[in-house]
Amino acid sequence: MGQKKFRDERGLFVVEGEKLVEEAMRSGFDIVGHYRMEEIGEETMARISQLTHPSPVLAVVRQPSQPALPSVEPDELVLALDGIRDPGNLGTILRIADWFGIRHVLASADTVELYNPKVVQATMGAIFRVQVYYGDLTRSFASLRMTAVYGTFLEGDTIYQTPLTKGGILVMGSEANGISPEVAATVTQKLYIPPYPAGAHTSESLNVAVATAIACSEFRRR
């Protein structure tokens, strides 16, 4: 299951570690295999594990069908990810979404695969609670019919001083290129997370997962 083509062909993915396997078994996902190192041996576990240092327990889980877009309430916050390529960032963002009660995440087709082992590990179980919908973001926005679409930009308005609605879509762009022009055209309010103090010479930008956490926290604080 280390390669995407095999995961796609078989419709399966691997979960490793006591916490993640426990989360998987509680989730209602279909567990097709459950293995413990003391039962199959250290050598066999090392062979099937995706980790540098194999965990004592591993589960093989069936991928659920790609969900249809949800019906969302006007006051619901939806997260949209445009071209997120780093597996660790995607997994961390799903963990952040889970923490802030965001249940629906839209992902562009070029966002890294949800069942990549590094994504799964980084979610720390959030993969079993947050629904991810892959597809064309602009079409998804049109289907959801939400009036407020926020996006993070270097030339946006300071997030701490901008009025925010309780519900809407919050778009986070790729690590290298930010939000694509096509998706940017749908944004109704550009937001900027300023450095402290204002105007200070600091790092060029924030990691996308860190920026997501800050933005989600500000939405929930209002």
Measure the CA–CA gap between 72 and 95, rounded to whole angstroms.
Answer: 20
**Do 183 and 92 fall within a single domain?**
yes
What CATH number does the domain containing 165 carry? 3.40.1280.10
How distant, in Å, are the alpha carbons of 75, 103, 136, 143 from that of 71?
A: 12, 12, 17, 9
Residues near 197 by beta carbon (within 8 Å), at least 6 away in sequence? none
**Do 112 and 207 fall within a single domain?**
yes
User: Can you give the C-alpha Rg of the chain in angstroms?
Assistant: 19
User: Is-contact 76 167, C-beta < 8 A?
Assistant: yes
**Do 156 and 47 fall within a single domain?**
no
**Do 100 and 188 fall within a single domain?**
yes
The number of distinct structural domains making up the chain is: 2
How distant, in Å, are the alpha carbons of 39, 189, 211 from that of 166?
A: 50, 14, 18
3-state class (DSSP) for residue 40: helix
Tens-digit pLDDT profile for the chain (222 aa)?
Answer: 668 888 988 999 999 999 999 999 999 999 999 999 999 999 999 999 988 889 999 999 999 998 889 889 989 999 999 999 999 999 999 999 999 999 999 999 999 999 999 999 999 999 999 999 999 999 999 999 999 999 999 999 999 999 999 999 999 999 899 999 999 999 999 999 999 877 777 777 799 999 999 999 999 998
The count of other CB atoms within 10 Å of the CB of residue 73 is 10
Residue 1 is predicted with a pLDDT of 64
Q: Which of 30, 62, 94 is the last residue of a domain?
A: 62
**Do 217 and 156 fall within a single domain?**
yes
How distant, in Å, are the alpha carbons of 6, 47, 127, 211, 214 from that of 97?
A: 28, 33, 10, 12, 11
Q: How are the residues of the chain apportioned to helix, strand and coil, as percentages rounded to the nearest 5?
A: 35, 25, 40
Among 165, 205, 149, 177, which residue's Cα sits nearest to residue 82? 177
**Do 54 and 101 fall within a single domain?**
no
Q: Where are the alpha helices (DSSP H) in 18-75?
A: 18-27, 37-40, 42-48
Residue 15: domain span: 4-62
Residue 2 is predicted with a pLDDT of 66
**Do 89 and 174 fall within a single domain?**
yes
Residue 137 is predicted with a pLDDT of 97
71, part of any domain: no
What type of residue sits at position 48? Answer: I
**Do 18 and 94 fall within a single domain?**
no
Measure the CA–CA gap between 20 and 182, rounded to whole angstroms.
Answer: 37
What CATH number does the domain containing 41 carry? 3.30.1330.30
**Do 168 and 117 fall within a single domain?**
yes
What type of residue sits at position 53? Answer: H
